[in-house]
Structure 1
Amino acid sequence: MEMNEREEKHEKVHQVFQTIYKKYDSMNSLISFNRHKAWRRKADETVGAREGEQILDVCCGTGDWTLSLAKAVGTTGKVVGLDFSDNMLKVARAKLDVTPLKNVALVNGDAMNIPFSEASFDRVTIGFGLRNVPDYLTVLKEMFRVLKPGGRIVCLETSQPKIPVYRQLYFFYFRFIMPLLGKLFAGSYKEYAWLNESTQKFPDREKLVQLFHAAGFEKVSVRSFMGGIAAIHHADKPLRKAAD
């Protein structure tokens, strides 16, 4: 993707999430038939967070996964939620304010240029955010950079079913039904039409595995849900740097 295309996608996605933030959570539940919560619980299990760990949740949005991870690492750990939409972070802060959690930091920042030093975190996560970034590999490399050697990355994302007919129905739903639901329940037709576009352009499971390897990760594994409409990719950062 050329630089001007990246900038255009960055601005477009920023505008989308600045617009839909108030209805984002309820629309997620509606669009996924409330399955996204079960998928995130499986993702939590895959993360395997331990007390005292430092975790970065990239593209944290309204903060549900961030807060869940914060409970898992306990008072001696810390979770940073990173997002470039200050409106989405406002929702996350409102949620945080009504919890007793003191181990969460919410940071306005760009996944393409994560504002933390190398090897800062034990684990990094990204939930339904990778498909919206200007360059998937750049973000994966950034997540690799800030992860400690031996640390784990977990990505929960929409995927593309392979089953004939089911695949066509899936894309029909995303292309026509989801934007209509966005218009009816959130007053945001074009924003949800964009989310369909980002889903269609996102790599399938196998191509995403290749991107994880290209970013430097090892032991890449995939778990699919509901016939392939969503998937968890997880991988580890090698303990030692690969030989040149």
Structure 2
Amino acid sequence: MANRYLHNVQGLFDTIAPNYDRMNNIISLGTHRHWRAQTMTKIHLQPDAHALDLCCGTGDWTIAVAQILSDRGEVIGFDFSAPMLKIAQQKVDQAQLHDRVWLRRGNAMHLPFKDNTFDLVTIGFGLRNLPDKPRALAEIFRVLKPGAQLVCLETSQPDQPLIKPVWQWYFTKVVPFFGRLFAHQYQEYSYLQETTRHFASYQQLVTLFEQAGFDQVHYQRFNFGAAAAHFGTKPTTVIAHD
């Protein structure tokens, strides 16, 4: 069932890839760039660090991480959609970062990397689309070095009484309409708004991080809670449980 779900979601992202960046700008009114920029201010890496950007899509966050590294560091952008990765590669080439960015296609719930490999893992607007989120977080935990950090940027749900109904109206009515108007993809953007509405709350995501073994879990919310960045650190000493 999970494989079929993932295959269907992959097909959806393959379809929307040509319009993905433009639609993100339209749907978020451009604020997704601000969310990522604010999140990046919380990330501190050595110039020679090794990072992994999961569900990298068209590569914007992959490139942002690469830009704070030297040519001795590297970022792997990892995604299951070949059309998304094709666009990402074009951006990497344009930014002249091919000496520190590598793009790979694969399944975020079965990472082809050794334990304790990365100094940072980022995942932006991708966790909500994975059918087994605890499995994905367990894989991220496995490939992070002890003391390294996971940073997850996701859409979220406002909980203020005056804001919440406006947010629900926007995502249930306006987002699919924008998908039809600007990309002729009503069904695809209807699905995406559903994943946003039904994704874990920011409090529930803290619990998922902690259950995966992360310490120092905290978050920053944006736009009255429309998005949130979550941070978690892999302990330097991992206690084995029977």
Q: What range describes the TM-score normalised by the shorter chain of this pair?
A: over 0.9
Aligned position for 2:18: 22
Q: How far apart in 1 are the matches of 2:189 and 2:59?
A: 20
Match of 2:151 in 1: 154
Measure how far apart 1:165 and its partner are.
3.2
SS at match of 1:57: strand
1:197 aligns with 2:191: no
1:80-159 to 2 correspondence within 5 Å? Answer: 80-101=76-97, 102-159=99-156
- CA 1:165–1:8: 2 relative to 1, 3 Å: farther
3, 20, 30: which one aligns with 1:7: 3
- Does structure 2 retain, via aligned residues, the 8 Å contact 1:49–1:69? no
| AA matched with 2:138 | K
Residue 230 (structure 2) aligns with = 233
Determine if the alignment matches structure 1 residue 31 to structure 2 residue 14: no
**Matching of residue 40 in structure 1 with residue 36 in structure 2:** yes
Deviations 1:140-160 (A, max 9, x none): 111100000000010000011
Percent sequence identity over aligned pairs:
44
Give 3-state SS (helix, strand or coil) of 2:139's partner: helix
**Per-residue deviation, 1:11:** 2.0
Equivalents in 2 of 1:45, 1:155: separation in Å?
14
Shift of 1:190: 0.5
* Residue 47 (structure 1) shift: 2.1
**Aligned mates of 1:82, 1:187 — CA distance in 2:** 27
Equivalent residue, structure 1, for 2:170? 173
1:140 aligned partner, one-letter code: L
**1:222 and 2:219 equivalent?**
yes
Instruction: Confirm or deny that 1:66 pairs with 2:62.
Output: yes
Asked if 1:79 corresponds to 2:85, the answer is no
Q: Distance in 1 between matches of 2:8 and 2:42?
A: 31
CA contact (8 A) 1:46 1:154 kept: no
Give deviations 1:18-42, integer Å, cap 9, x for gaps. 0000110011011001000010011
Is this contact kept in 2: 1:123–1:153, CA < 8 A? Answer: yes
Question: What amino acid does structure 1 have at the position aligned with 2:78?
Answer: L
Matches of 2:219 and 2:95, distance apart in 1: 33
Count residues with an aligned counterpart.
240
Unaligned runs of 5+ in 1: none
Secondary structure of 2:41's counterpart equals: helix
How far apart, in 2, do the equivalents of 1:45 and 1:179 lie?
32
- Please give the alpha-carbon distance, in whole angstroms, between the structure 2 residues aligned to 1:115 and 1:137: 17
CA distance in 1, matches of 2:44, 2:177: 37
Name the Cα RMSD after superposition: 0.9
Whether the aligned pair in 2 keeps the contact of 1:46 and 1:234 (CA below 8 Å) is no
Q: Give the distance between the partners of 1:150 and 1:31, measured in 2 at CA.
A: 36
Structure 2: distance between partners of 1:171 and 1:137: 26
Give me the TM-score of the superposition, normalised by structure 2: 0.97
Of the three residues 16, 31, 55, the one matched with 2:51 is 55
The two structures have a TM-score, normalised by structure 1, of: 0.96
- Please state how far the C-alpha of 1:162 moved relative to its aligned partner: 0.4
How far does residue 200 in structure 1 lie from its aligned partner after superposition?
A: 1.3
